[in-house]
Amino acid sequence: MGAQESRPQWPLASTAEIMALFDTVDENRDGVLSIEELDAALRAAHLPTSRENLRALFSSMDANQSGGVDRGEFAAFVQR
């Protein structure tokens, strides 16, 4: 547990940029990021990670442990 050292450092400043990134990652446009969408986004950003690290990263983003990352959780994660 606690494997958060692989957290990507998104060079994002504004809420608009963060929401644009969210929309890019949210491939099926359901308003929630799945772990598979996160995996695809990391690969697209040339940041492939192990399944273990992917799960740890996703869990740290999914603040309420609902199994999906919504816009609020995503913004909080990126901006912290």
36 is a site residue for Ca ion (CB under 5 A)? no
Burial of 75 (0-12, 13-18, 19+ CB in 10 A): middle
List the x/- string, 14-33, binding to Ca ion by CB under 5 A: ------------x-x-x-x-
Angle at 51 (CA atoms; ends 25, 30), nearest 5 degrees: 25
Question: How many residues lie near Ca ion (CB under 5 A)?
Answer: 4
**Closest CB 5 distance from Ca ion, rounded Å:** 26
Binding site for Ca ion (CB under 5 A): 26, 28, 30, 32
